[in-house]
Structure 1
Amino acid sequence: MSEYSLQELSCWNDRIEERVKQAGLDYYEQHFEICSYEDMLCYEAYVGMPAHYPHWSYGKAYERQKTFYQYNLTGLPYEMVINSNPCIAYLMKDNTLLLQILTMAHVYGHNDFFKNNRLFRRDTRADMAVEMFKTHANRVREYIQDPGIGPVKVERILDAAHALRFQVPRHGEKKQSDRKELAKEVYELVPARLADDLLGFLAEKGRLTDWEQDLVHIVREESMYFMPQLETKIMNEGWASYWHYRILQELELPQELHLEFLQRHNLVVRPHEGRINPYFVGFKMFEYLDKKPGGREQIMTARREERDQSFLRRYLNRELCEEMHLFSYGSEGENIIVEDIADEEGWQNVRDTLANSVGIAGIPVIVPQTVCKGVLELKHEFDGRELEMGYTRETLKYVAELWGGEVSLSTVLNGRETVLRCNEQKEIS
């Protein structure tokens, strides 16, 4: 950090925090830590937590990111923020002074979002987050070191639980599918509280030992912690980007810092070719809404009540679609074709396509239906998108591993009801 001192960073943080308060943001106590790029790679691989249980997938993520970074195939995040109280954020020591200023302002936006958005308020306990991950890490390491269990058995259960980690309760409207007509039968066998929670059902009803059950509960609890972040990626990044932009505009930066600020900001919120940049979409939407009459109250309400799907459906209008040059595309044989553009006829389809693809909307919903003669019967809540069969077959094997017996899955393929079965020997038919 040859360009600046910690004292200088502290002074800039004080100036930023003063403007954050003036803007009416409501946030947890904020702690910043300076780290090396190697440390940032570790935090990124271990989802930002200072303590996390060991698993080969995290090591794989670390090596992949390290290789990409060393060959300039990707950059590192400017910052990493933990949804905790106090809120912890990491800043890379190699960042320039302006980049540290920008990312500190960005972090306060995340902090405010974590504290106020209803998904985080309802489903996470920020004051217990760091301790929860530490406790989980200690328990997993105890199982690994237990001579009667060991790393191989622990990894087998974690692999299965990781494969199903998103099959937990989701937010928003509940899909009814055909549960209504099966309600009495299903709820006698699958408790109502587990009807939308396959991983929780397997943890509670599967043929698992106590330590195996504990491992599945650990994965489930951590998945529930991250679920709000997955469901608010556009809003969360857009909110943080909007406020770092507003705050730095008010800081009266020296000219050399102001020029770098504009360059860095434009890099963050620029559109990406072939995919959606959540920073870009979220920033443009909050900026647009705040300019409207009553806009400040409206964006504060949106930040508190919405998730990405509802935010896009409620506030993404034709004017914004046109300004961001949004379009939807599909495939025709081996060719990629544009299906709709943001004009008078197509903008609503573009909006709905985007809303249906954000967050965890692209992850299939698999629910436990009933148990018949020891066979766990699952149902894919078909929404017009077919399951990828290669992945489905492997995932069914993991379900059978945790269930401890035969599993069947009902889905739709080529317009027809189809049932896949996996027996105790992990054979698919």
Structure 2
Amino acid sequence: MTAEYTLQQLTDWNGRIEEYVRESGLDCYEQHFEICSYEDMLCYEAYVGMPSHYPHWSYGKAYERQKTFYQHNLSGLPYEMVINSDPCLAYLMKDNTLLLQILTMAHVYGHNDFFKNNRLFRRDTRAELTLEVFKAHAGRVRAYIQDPSIGPEAVERVLDAAHALRFQTSRNGPGKLPDRDTLRREAQEAIPERLQNDLLGFLAERGRLTDWERDLVSLVREEALYFIPQIETKIMNEGWASYWHYQILQKLELPQALHLEFLQRHNLVIRPHQGRVNPYFIGFKLFEYLDKTLGREQIFRVRAEERDQSFLRRYLTRELCEELHLFVYQKQGDDIVVTEVPDEEGWKQVRDELAGSVGVGGMPAITPKKVDQGTLILEHQYDGRELELNYARETLKYAARLWGGTVKLPTVIDGKARQLSSDEMPEIKGRL
């Protein structure tokens, strides 16, 4: 703990924040905070916030990269990290100032309410099991690593493939587990209907895998399904938390010195970023606008029912596009060319481009289409955006590893239909 404040002060400020949280109508899980060092925060960030996670080289690589960037002042650290669990767990970095801890705690309660009430989280995750599930996964992976008949290299090979494909899974939640009769019927189908939009799930069930390999792929898929609601609501979630930390700190009657720092910190959080979208900025501005125009009761309904894509399509107006300085651009050779601005005709295109790029909409969708004499044929759901060459190459390589045979991928290259194969990748420069 730094000398600037004591644990009792944090406890007292948290009590005042919780009082306003209850008065405001926020509906939260029980909230737990853990104070950690910057090294701990780097580790939690690399291991996606989980206090217990299975080992894999990619997490160590992420830790070393983030540590190097932080030590050379090339990047900062998150003020907080919150886990969608019940009780809700959040980390506070002990080097933060007192005001930053107060702001962060208020911000965390916004996330907590969002996790508990947004329909994607209610439908797709069981917060009361989160920590135990991740601990169980870590135990299973370590058991396979320590098994002399398997070992770390074989485990790593399967995890590498599953990680590469982890978000090529159902984008509409895990769905219901099939019963015995359903599985018996599906055994006669090359690609069951419930797996037609779930490449990783299909490979986990139908790939030529041993039982332990199948378990690892299923484990990675289960964790991906846990994180998809967070990917799908990044703008809303951060905007909601930012909106509420602003409301709460305005009510706390902060001493003048703390209030000035609050204004500085808040503006740093929600400032626009040059060349990219700041989800805190967009989300905060939309919820602030909706509170003024629709009222407090309506914004609670919005946070419960929407995801980023529908949130932007329904509530991002021309006036907000102009205020937020949003525009559409394309790369033409070495130049960046603005193609749409939020004028009377172009603002809808600006809105739709942004909505189409958020969440999993920013990731290409590749699904199993059919099996032809042992060859798995995939489908790229082409929407005008061509695949990156490296993405296609890695997807084919890892899908073939889990399938245990040849995998082919029809797609579009330079505006023309082409088919790529894991057996013979064409040498194509630049983009596919």
State the SS of the aligned residue for 2:82. Answer: strand
Q: Distance in 1 between matches of 2:261 and 2:330?
A: 38
How many Å apart are 1:188 and its aligned residue? Answer: 2.9
- The answer (yes or no) to whether the contact 1:28–1:112 under 8 Å persists in 2 is yes
1:286-305 alignment runs, 5 A limit: 286-292=287-293, 294-305=294-305
Q: CA deviation at 1:416?
A: 2.1
Contact 1:186-1:370 at 8 Å conserved across structures: no
**What is the CA-CA distance between 1:410 and the residue it aligns to?**
1.2
The superposition leaves residues 153-182 of structure 1 with CA deviations (integer Å, 9 ceiling, x where unpaired) of: 00000000001001011139xxxxxxxxxx
Match of 1:359 in 2: 359
Matches within 5 A, 1:69-88: 69-88=70-89
SS for the counterpart of 1:314 is: helix
Which string of whole-angstrom CA distances, capped at 9 and with x for unpartnered residues, describes residues 276-317 of structure 1?
Answer: 00000000000011011x421221111001000000000000
Q: Which residue of 2 is the match for residue 179 of structure 1? A: none
197-206 or 185-194, larger mean C-alpha shift: 185-194
Amino acid at match of 1:142: A
TM-score by structure 1 length?
0.95
409-418 vs 378-387, greater mean Cα deviation: 409-418
> Quick one: distance in 2 between partners of 1:198 and 1:114?
27
| Match in the other structure for 2:146 | 145
2:375 & 2:339 partners in 1: Cα distance? 42
Which residue number in structure 2 is paired with residue 7 of structure 1? 8
How big is the shift at 1:150? 0.4
* CA RMSD after TM alignment: 1.4
What is the aligned partner in structure 2 of residue 220 from structure 1? 221
Question: Which residue pairs with 2:420 in the alignment?
Answer: 420
> Cα–Cα, structure 1 residues 32 and 239, in superposed 2: closer, same or farther, change >3 Å?
same
| Structure 1 gap segments, 5+ residues each | 173-184
Question: Matched residues in 2 for 1:389 and 1:166: separation?
Answer: 18
Contact 1:386 1:412 in 2 (8 A): yes
TM-score by length of 2: 0.94
Residues 22-421 of structure 1 aligned to structure 2 (within 5 Å): 22-171=23-172, 188-292=189-293, 294-421=294-421
Counterpart Cα distance in 2 of 1:302 and 1:6: 36
1:103-131, Cα deviation, whole Å (9 max, x unpaired): 00000000000000000010011000000
CA distance in 1: counterparts of 2:105 and 2:393, whole angstroms:
45
Deviations 1:195-246 (A, max 9, x none): 1100000000000000000000010000000000000000000000000000
Question: Distance between the aligned counterparts of 2:53 and 2:93, measured in 1?
Answer: 20
Q: Which amino acid aligns with 1:57?
A: S
Superposed structure 1 runs of 4+ greater than 4 Å apart = none
| C-alpha distance in 1 between matches for 2:416 and 2:278 | 36
CA distance in 1, matches of 2:80, 2:53: 19
Cα distance in 1, alignment partners of residues 357 and 375 from structure 2:
33
| 1:17 counterpart = 2:14 | no
- How far is 1:361 from its partner? 1.0
**Deviations 1:49-85 (Å, cap 9, x if unpaired)?**
0000000110010001000100011110000000000
**Identity of counterpart residues, as a percentage?**
73
The 1:186/1:153 distance shift into structure 2, 3 A limit, reads: closer
Q: Secondary structure, in 3 states, of the residue corresponding to 1:200?
A: helix
Q: Which amino acid aligns with 1:428?
A: M
CA separation of 1:282 and 1:67: change in aligned 2, threshold 3 A: same
Q: Give the C-alpha shift of residue 247 in structure 1.
A: 0.3
